Amino acid sequence: MTKYLLKRAGQALLVLWAAFTAAYILLQAMPGDSILIKFQDPELGLSPEQIAKIREYYDAGGYLHTVLGFLHGDFGYSVDTGTPVVERLAEGLPETAKLATCAFVLAVLLAVLIAFGSAYSGRLRGLLLAVPSLFISVPAFWLGILLIQVFSFRLRLVPVIGGTELQQLVLPVLTLAVPISAPIAQVLARSIDQVLTQPFVPVVAAKGASRSWILWRHVARNALPPTLTVAGLVFGELIAGSVVTETVFGRTGVGRLTEQAVNAQDAPVLLAVVVLAATAFVLVNLLVDVLFPVLDPRLAT
């Protein structure tokens, strides 16, 4: 078990390094840079020599220097705003964490509802099983606008401008949760079906267990591992989805920060975001791997 964990942790570190390096190289390879974008503003009328001087001032000092900085928790300065990257992340992270956590919980609830609902019902089954493919084909961008139009502008149930923190969260959480719930629901429903065909099910049924008892006590437990894997992978979607959701709803957060940093080619911010996202992704999947042996005793041995 310890060996398994150590191996997984080592792999995780390797993934982190690879993500950082790939991002670093790609950002360097892009045409232009944040300094040019920001300072070639015609309104400022700076000469190429002046811009070169500014570039010298902002120069981060190469790959090794940047790696060492990251290891010390020094992510450098955002060229776009001139503030430390750590400060910008600290502004955005709590907001995104709130949004993403709520959305993930809701997505799991939706998935469980759909999957178990379809296992229970005879006639609605076809309809319920079509829901994931509908959910996954709805673009988050479009869904966000639709929800705003209907619930905020037409029915006036929640404001998008102002309002309490809870009101501010409702629609973005829905927008983010719906597409994410789809793959989880799909895999969960499929696993339930598979487990239901296994020979032990009729045995339990013959002993007089009710359908609910079978589903929750026997099938659920066996259907969980594949679902957990998907849930871990879906975490990446959560980060990508927050970029769109935060922009549509005008929320602050890491997603919005990413969008702005991409537009401004703000390399220090983008590097930090990549490393942050990769860390979160790696940690979640590590957690999934740790939970696996707990759920499936066969793996523990």
Partner 1 sequence: MSSFRPAVVTVAMLAAVGLLTSCGGSGTGAQAKSDGEPVYGGTLTYLEHQPPTCLYLPAAGFYPNGGVLNQLTDKLTWQNPETLKIEPWIATKWEINEDATEYTFHLRDGVTFSDGTPLDAEAVAANFDVYGRGDDKLKLPPAEFVNNYERSEVIDARTVRFHFGKPSPGFLQGTSVIGAGLVSKKTIGLPYEEQCQLKNIIGSGPFTVAKQVVDKEIDLQARKDYNWAPPSSAHQGRAYLDLVKIIVTPEDNVRVGALTSGQADYVRYVQAYDEATVKSAGFVVQGEPTRGVNNGLYLRPANSILKDIRVRKALQAGTDAKEVVDTLFTDNYPVATSVLSHQAAGYVDLSDKLAYDPGKAGELLDEAGWTRGADGVREKDGVKLRLGVFVAGPQPLSKQTLELVAQQWAKIGVKLEIRPADAGTQAVDIKDAEKTAVNHSMVGRADQDVIKSQFHTKNRDVILSNDTKLDQLLEEESALADETRRNEKVAEIQRYVIDQGYAIPLFEEPQVYGIAPYVHGAAFEAVGRPSFYAVWLGK
Residue numbers of the site for partner 1 (CB under 8 A)?
A: 30-33, 36-38, 40-46, 50, 54, 57, 80-83, 88, 91, 126, 129-130, 133-134, 137-138, 145-146, 148-150, 152-156, 159-162, 247-252, 256-257, 260, 262-265
Nearer to partner 1, 107 or 267 (CB): 267
Nearer to partner 1, 34 or 191 (CB): 34
Q: Which amino acid is at 301?
A: T
Nearest distance from residue 91's CB to partner 1, in Å? 6
Q: Which amino acid is at 129?
A: L
Count how many Cα atoms sit within 13 Å of the Cα of residue 111 in the half-sphere of its side chain: 30
Q: Which amino acid is at 44?
A: L
| Whole-number Å distance between alpha carbons of 288 and 285 | 5
Nearest distance from residue 135's CB to partner 1, in Å? 9
Nearer to partner 1, 1 or 44 (CB): 44
Nearest distance from residue 187's CB to partner 1, in Å? 17
Nearest distance from residue 269's CB to partner 1, in Å? 12
Nearest distance from residue 53's CB to partner 1, in Å? 8
For 50-101, the DSSP string reads: HHHHHHHHH---HHHHHHHHHHTT---B-TTT-SBHHHHHHHHHHHHHHHHH
- Residue closest to 244 by CA, chosen among 142, 106, 131, 94: 142
Nearest distance from residue 46's CB to partner 1, in Å? 5
Nearer to partner 1, 143 or 187 (CB): 143
Nearest distance from residue 89's CB to partner 1, in Å? 12
Contact predicate 255/246, CB 8 Å: yes
Nearer to partner 1, 260 or 279 (CB): 260
Nearer to partner 1, 116 or 249 (CB): 249
Nearer to partner 1, 88 or 218 (CB): 88
DSSP letter assigned to residue 41: -
Nearer to partner 1, 64 or 155 (CB): 155
Structure tokens, 67: 């790696």
Contact predicate 187/226, CB 8 Å: yes
Structure tokens, 149: 């139009």
Q: How many CB atoms lie within 10 A of CB 281?
A: 20
- φ and ψ at 84, to 5 degrees? -60, 140
Which CA distances in Å does 228 have to 84, 284, 289?
A: 37, 10, 9
Nearest distance from residue 33's CB to partner 1, in Å? 6
List all residues 6 or more positions away from 104 whose beta carbon is below 8 Å from its beta carbon: 177, 180, 235, 238
Buried b (16+ CB within 10 A) or exposed e, 60-98: eeeeeebeebbeeeebbbbbbbeeebeebbeebeebbeb
